[in-house]
Amino acid sequence: MPEIAEVARVVYYLRQHLVGKTIRKVVAPDDNNVFGKAGTSGPAFEKALTGKTVEEVGSQGKYFWMVLSSPPHAVMHLGMTGWVQIRGIQTGYTRYVERTKGDREQWPPKFWKFHLETDGDPKVEVAFTDARRFGRVRLVDCPGKDIRKHSPLVENGPDPVVDKDRFTEEFLRKKMKSRHVPIKALLLDQTTISGIGNWVGDEILYQAKLHPEQYCDDFDDADIAALYKAICYVCDTAVEKLGDSDQFPEHWLFKHRWGKGKKDAATTLPNGDKITHITVGGRTSCVVPSVQKKRGRTTIDDVKEESASPDETESRFFKGKGKNKKQANGKEDVEERPNKKARTAKSKPAKKEEEEVEVEKESNPTPRASRKSNKQKKEDEQERDEEEEEEAKPAPKASRRTSKQKKEEKPSEPPLELGRRRSSRLSRVAA
């Protein structure tokens, strides 16, 4: 993500090539993210800039703006992948140029969100590009000198390079003592200090020899003084070099931090100190443990204390969800989950037997009964007559069973009948 140094580079080139020029033409197709989420639209942006003269270009942290000859003025944020290109001029820093080397001759450039051109000869052509569309372009309707008194700039903290009168050691001390968050998270908070992003924050903490997980209110005055000095040093140097990493000092962590997840990448500094990556405040942080030692409370310490506490009755985040709930009489309520139904050894084979029987029935269907001869018919009739005579005789009540009762008794056959049927079938097959 472009940070304070990269924004300073964009501002530098806009001041060189656009200030004092009148915008003759603007093309800005509407984009619900880039324009829409900033409260404006592409057509409105076109109308606001066309025919205006660019009088000034300024920046505060990650925001930059163009003060026009009359309001509204354009205020922009580069987001994750945004950039400003000028036709015929290499505005990108080295790593940016490497990523876009195949698009140098294309104009408007790939992923452009608006492009404009000035009058006069030679004309200047400028384009705002953003591949991932996290950048924001908005219009602020106010006098140019009051632009920092309006949203979104007014909600942001001082710029450590531009606002030397506001960003002091005492200002930093008050902010650190009034919060209880990891120091890395405090540095990334744009409402506290503008312009510090992930790599700048890691470089500052490395130069100050402070661990990113340590709480900001747990540093002494010497640590705060070292941190303030590191913020000024890193930000001033990065802005002075216009974000060109080729010109950064060789002893900076920046030169060696980009090896995470890359094959054959260096995992140590030239002097052998190990480089590790941890997550702090939801962001990946590059740390050299031998240099950045923990000297106070950290987020890891809090987690250990909470897990080791035997008397905790509630979860840290959800009330009433703790594992060890206690009653008023001092006895613990032990809530056990119901055990899963154990599988019996018989259940699986029984199912298998049923399937085998069904397969056998399907593979060997019962043949249709052939037509009976006349002799067989007569024998069957005689047997039925004998059975009817026997049924007509009175039988004891206890032994009398109706056909309905027999049907009801059928399901109560022992479950092992299936096994006996299987055994007899196997014996027939063996025979």
75 vs 405, which has greater pLDDT?
75
Beta bridge partners of 27: 115
pLDDT at 185: 96
Would you say 67 and 143 are in contact if contact means Cβ atoms under 8 Å apart? no
Tokens describing residue 19? 């200030």
**Where do runs of H (alpha helix) occur along 132-220?**
169-177, 183-188, 198-208
Lowest mean pLDDT among 203-212, 270-279, 331-340, 418-427: 331-340
What distance in Å separates the CA atoms of residue 299 and residue 301, rounded to the nearest whole number? 5
Task: Grade residue 315 by pLDDT with cuts at 50, 70 and 90.
Answer: very low
pLDDT at 93: 73
Task: Grade residue 267 by pLDDT with cuts at 50, 70 and 90.
Answer: confident
pLDDT at 399: 45
pLDDT at 395: 47
pLDDT, one tens digit per residue, over 194-251 is 999 999 999 999 999 999 999 999 999 999 999 999 999 999 999 999 999 999 999 9
User: What would the mean pLDDT of 111-135 be, rounded to a whole number?
Assistant: 96
Going by C-beta distance under 8 Å and a sequence separation of 6 or more, which residues neighbour residue 116?
A: 23, 25, 26, 27, 49, 125, 126, 127
φ and ψ at 182, to 5 degrees? -55, 145
pLDDT at 154: 97
pLDDT at 210: 97
What percent of the chain clears pLDDT 70, i.e. is strictly above it? 65
pLDDT, one tens digit per residue, over 10-32 is 999 999 999 999 999 999 999 99
Residue found under tokens 């962590």: 253
Q: Is 60 left (phi over 0), alpha (psi -120 to 50) or beta?
A: beta
pLDDT at residue 281 tops 90: no
Torsion of CA 246, 251, 257, 263, to 10 degrees: 80
Task: Grade residue 264 by pLDDT with cuts at 50, 70 and 90.
Answer: low
Q: Which CA distances in Å does 161 have to 29, 88, 195, 234, 310?
A: 35, 29, 9, 10, 49
Tell me the Cα Rg of the chain.
41
Instruction: Identify the burial level of 318 via C-beta atoms within 10 angstroms of its C-beta, where 0-12 means exposed, 13-18 middle and 19 or more buried.
Output: exposed
pLDDT at 324: 45
Going by C-beta distance under 8 Å and a sequence separation of 6 or more, which residues neighbour residue 276?
A: 286, 287, 288, 289
pLDDT, one tens digit per residue, over 320-340 is 444 444 444 444 444 445 455
pLDDT at 105: 77
Mean pLDDT of the chain: 80
pLDDT at 309: 42
Task: Grade residue 303 by pLDDT with cuts at 50, 70 and 90.
Answer: very low
Beta bridge partners of 85: 127
pLDDT at 325: 43
pLDDT at 112: 97
Q: Is 264 left (phi over 0), alpha (psi -120 to 50) or beta?
A: left
How many other CB atoms are found less than 10 A from the CB of residue 236? 15
Would you say 158 and 170 are in contact if contact means Cβ atoms under 8 Å apart? no
Q: What is residue 287's three-state secondary structure?
A: strand
**Where do runs of H (alpha helix) occur along 189-286?**
198-208, 221-240
pLDDT at residue 50 tops 60: yes
* pTM, rounded to two decimals: 0.69
User: How are strands ordered across the β-sheet holding 125-130?
Assistant: 23-27, 112-118, 125-130, 82-86
Kindly give the interhelix angle for 4-17 and 221-240, rounded to the nearest 10 degrees: 30
Number of H helices, E strands in the chain: 12, 10
318 vs 112, which has greater pLDDT?
112
pLDDT at 91: 92
99 vs 404, which has greater pLDDT?
99
pLDDT at residue 57 tops 90: yes
Q: What is residue 158's three-state secondary structure?
A: coil
pLDDT at 1: 75
pLDDT at 212: 97
